[in-house]
Amino acid sequence: MAERPGSGLNRLWRSLTLRAALVLVLFVALPFILYLTFRQADFDRQRLLLESIRVKGLTVSRALEERLQDVDTIPMFRLGDELDRFRTEGIALRLLFRPRDAAPDSGFLYVASAPAVAPDDLDWERQQLAETGVLDRLAASCAGDVPLALRMDRANGLTRLITSITPVRSKRGCWALVISNDLTDRAEQRLGLPYWQAPEVQLAAAVYFGFAAIVLLIAFDLWRSLLRFAATARAVAERRIEGRFVQRNRLPELETVAAAFDRMEDSLRATAGELRYAAEESAHAFKTPLGTIRQALVPLRSRLPQGDERSRQALQAIDAALDRLDDLVRAARHLDDAVADRLDPPREAVDLDALVEDVVEAYAGDAAARNLVLEAEIASTASAPLGGRLIADALGQVIENALSFSPPQGRVRVRLGREFDRPVITVADEGPGVPAEWLPQIFERHASFRDHGSRPQAAERGQNFGLGLWVARRNMEAVGGTISCANRPGGFIVTLALPRQG
């Protein structure tokens, strides 16, 4: 049946792997999208808040600027009181000074502050400003306001944000007014910090990664449970372990599926048993009247008048028809057994070494009668977990096919070896081979290659029904193996590859 247009896309869309991949992409991309969006919003909010703080500091700076023009006339011990007059809540003022005749590499000194702070704190703030390069730039020009957003986190938990530095040149040197804000509000404490350091972001990240870990654990457990269920299904089907699917299943959600598998397995085995029983009954039912007919022909043949050639030919035709019926009954029985074994393969362990030798020995008489040489070579010991009768039958069908095509005094070699850690049985003959264009059809049912016409025909005459290689393929598939064929120099070769030993 032709595949409907778009069915391939539908199949792809219905793939759980594809859907899981899409969910994973969204799962990974969503936090990045949300983070970038909220980070921009936080950046805009911080920018507005910082601007508000700067405006407040700029107002104080402008009020002090005129007073700083006459700072040379104010005694040093009164500079702190002068700064304190302009201080407002949350704003700290620091006055730095660098003498005009100071060395080029000398820095600024703190001379006053409002509110008053310990000298160690002042030195620490001055060091922070020097490390950022702000004071070096002021020392070079002592001109131009310097807007800042320099965050300083103290060991005592106090956070300070320096918002501006206003330089004033005088006769004595360069004065610099540093305006900073103590960040006490929760929103203000976030100023100058990367967004990922925000407590709510870290909490969201912890929740997300915890959720992701739970989802991954669930997905991994589900994936592992499905693999375990599949392995259990194979092991139960191959009778490598005993028990029912329901007993082996560990995932409650798969109990219904396990029960359905048990019912299906019971149905397949029951069907296989009924096929075997029906095949045996049918063969017995046919063989009884066929035997009766053969016995009835004995007195007729003994009383046949001499010279009655027509009656003799009639009896020969009846014998040929009876032989044909016997072959048909055996073939039908064989087909029914093959179908039953495919539904419920025999579970006995197989010693392939002994199996190959036994099958070759069983066909040695047939080979000798045809004036052929049949030999076995055990290049590697091997075993199979199940399907001894199926493997032996498949090998026998291939050997029979090789013998039937081999020329007089020809040689058929059966070899047991190993390829890529798989047991492999090869049957090589010295027959005519098969045309390359017919090779894909050689394992089809009723295909015959004995009449080399324009194309292979279904078998209709003699004892050849064109079922041997088809049965061999079905048997190999039933035990999880494969069968293939190829022409070789001087003959033909068929390869039976069994499953890799676990």
pLDDT at 422: 86
- Name the pLDDT band for 178 (thresholds 50, 70, 90): confident
What pLDDT shows up at residue 266?
Answer: 79
Contact 431, 493 (CB under 8 A): no
pLDDT digits (tens, 9 = 90+) for 234-254: 776 655 566 677 777 777 777
Res 387: pLDDT: 74
Distance CA 177, CA 67 (A): 11
N-to-C CA span, the chain: 38
CA separation for the pair 281, 276 (Å, rounded): 9
Question: What pLDDT was estimated at residue 455?
Answer: 45
Looking at residue 239, what is its pLDDT? Answer: 59
| Confidence (pLDDT) at 236 | 64
| Dihedral pair phi/psi, residue 54, rounded to 5° | -65, -40
* Residue with the larger pLDDT of the pair 183 and 186: 183
In this predicted structure, what is the pLDDT of residue 435?
86
- What percent of the chain stands above pLDDT 70? 77
Does 454 score more than 50 pLDDT? no
pLDDT value for 453: 43
With a threshold of 0.85, does the pTM exceed it? no
Whether residue 362 is predicted with pLDDT greater than 80 in this model: the reply is: yes
Most confident by average pLDDT, 77-91, 131-145, 192-206, 288-302: 288-302
In this model, does residue 493 exceed pLDDT 90? yes
Give the model confidence (pLDDT) of 369-418 as tens digits.
999 999 999 888 887 767 777 888 899 989 999 998 899 899 999 999 98
Predicted local confidence at residue 361, as pLDDT? 92
Kindly tell me if the per-residue pLDDT of 426 is higher than 90. yes
At 441, the pLDDT band (50, 70, 90 cuts) reads confident
Question: What is the number of H-type helices and E-type strands within the chain?
Answer: 13, 14
Amino acid (1-letter code) at residue 139 = A
Compare 432 and 68 and report the one with higher pLDDT: 432
- All structural domains of the chain, each given as residue ranges with its CATH number in brackets, are 48-196 (3.30.450.20), 257-343 (1.10.287), 350-497 (3.30.565.10)
What was the pLDDT predicted at 2? Answer: 43
Mean pLDDT, the chain, whole residue set: 77
Q: Report the alpha-carbon distance of residue 243 to residue 412 in Å, rounded.
A: 43
Give per-residue pLDDT as tens, 263-278.
887 787 788 778 777 7
